[in-house]
Amino acid sequence: MARSIFSNCAPANTAHPHRVARSAHEYKRGTLVMQTISTGMYIGGEWVLPHSGMFDDVINPATEQAFAKSPVSSSDEVSQAIAAAREAFDKGPWPRMSVAERVTILRRLLDTLQQRKEEIVALIVREAGATQFLASALQFDIPMKHAYRLIDDALLISGGFAPLEISPSMNGRKVLGTSSVVHDPVGVVAAITPYNFPFFLNIVKLCHALPMGNTVVLKPSPLTPLEALIIADVAHHVGIPAGVINVITGDAQAGELLTSDPRVDMVTFTGSDKVGASIMAQGAPTLKKMHLELGGKSALIVRADADLANVVQDAMMFTTHAGQGCALTTRHLVHNSLRPAYVNMLGHALKAVKVGDTADPTVHMGPLIRDAARQRCERYVDIALQGGARLVAGGRRPEHLERGFFFEPTLFDDVDNRSRAAQEEIFGPIAVVIGFDTDEEAIALANDSAFGLFGAICSADAGRAYEMALQLRTGGIAINGGSGTMLSGSPFGGYKRSGLGREYGREGLLEFCQSKAIAFRAA
């Protein structure tokens, strides 16, 4: 029987050769996450081993060393997970509970995850390569804040009545009629998440779908499966009904089985625009509802009146998580009167960024997720240079780091906005500087993109910045640094190839509902 790579793991249940036994005693020891991580997927309220017997190494991208194993699902486990979610939605108690009842259970889930913060943050550092500050503040605290707000907002989602209408009838009298509008859950939701912010996206997708009465099959990236399995571990412990949350692990083939299966009613996906387009095609024959949060090539506009010292601090954000963020501003549109000073200041600041193993709490920027991501950055450096751009900082692997998938923070100047380096999402710590002379030119340059996820404007004239923001074709804009946090009640999503639908707040929760009108005569 397969065993965990950890010595204190419980053996599989011999009565059910593909199910793994778990006891309350094991959970209380605080070691269950390691047992679960390395021995099973979570399907229908039980821990299930892969029929294939296949496990993948989970690698720390800062060291290139495997530190755990994760099961690889076959078509059997994918089908079982969908069937469990379908059964739980069609016949189980979850969609028939009141919103308040579901929220009470979900609050227990979040409270228990909060109690395990230290363990989860350590896992984020090792699995996703996040710095310790990033793992704690941005990859744990903010999604937990979002999750609590989402389940509270779900209590405020209620139906209503359409306006009364008077219409004639054949008997000569007038009919007074209206309809009751209710919000039903969509059904079985396939949630597919990427490697860059795994815990963040896993928990917020669940807390969009679940309070509205949906059931979920969650498939994390095969590069970062553990931060989904720990949520399943907690869900099992707090008593979420069987089949409401199912977690499978695997590659793109498992994802395609999810997105094409007629038993799945909706797909929510975060990832690249190319994969998003493929998912739309896979779901088209069954006309699934699609919720897609895709890529970006966001523009930072620096007007001539901007305070450069403050702007450079904001501009440095493109190095967050080694540039592995869809909303990071990687196109810097800078007024030509400021551009030489801006490039000089930002270039010097980037050279001071400490890159290294995220086990070190003083490190500012960690690794890319895998060597393929680093090779992609190297290719784009060559592409930019061949296109006539001037390399200001970075552009290579750090010489002092022999292991780990590291790449230096990189800045280019003299970049053509129509070049590949300015138009394509690199998903690494690479930014380009493009000059402009008028506000109208800056707006045109910002909008000249296939993407429209986010953007930023820095100016001493906040009113003018707001006027410009109204003209940008993008889902979100930050003026002079924005709100200081990612707001939990503010809708997030993109235009154009940056996706379909919105997350957070009322808008995000309603994405996971169907509106039903029940018409009747008032008199």
Task: Catalogue the active-site residues.
Answer: 293, 326
∠ CA 112-117-118, nearest 5°, is: 135
Distance of CA 29 to the CA centre of its chain: 31
Which among 193, 238, 188, 196 has a CA at the least distance from the CA of 216?
188
Q: Which two tokens stand for residue 315?
A: 């501009």
The H or E element containing residue 331 is strand 329-335
Query: For the purposes of burial, counting CB atoms within 10 Å of the CB of 100, is it exposed (0-12), middle (13-18) or buried (19 or more)?
Result: exposed
State how far the alpha carbon of 160 is from the alpha carbons of 5, 516, 521, in Å: 54, 11, 15
Dihedral of CA 460/476/487/335: which sign? negative
Q: Which two tokens stand for residue 427?
A: 């998903």
Residue 286 per-residue DSSP state: G
Which among 503, 517, 522 has a CA at the least distance from the CA of 179?
517
Q: Are 257 and 78 in contact (CB under 8 A)?
A: yes
Q: Are 495 and 474 in contact (CB under 8 A)?
A: yes
Q: Which residues lie closer than 8 Å to 275 by C-beta, 6 or more apart?
A: 252, 269
Question: With the CA atoms of 356, 358, 363 and 364 taken in that order, what torsion angle do they form, in degrees rounded to the nearest 10?
Answer: 100
Tokens 């296949």 correspond to what residue? 54
Q: What's the residue count for the chain? A: 523
Amino acid making up residue 194: P
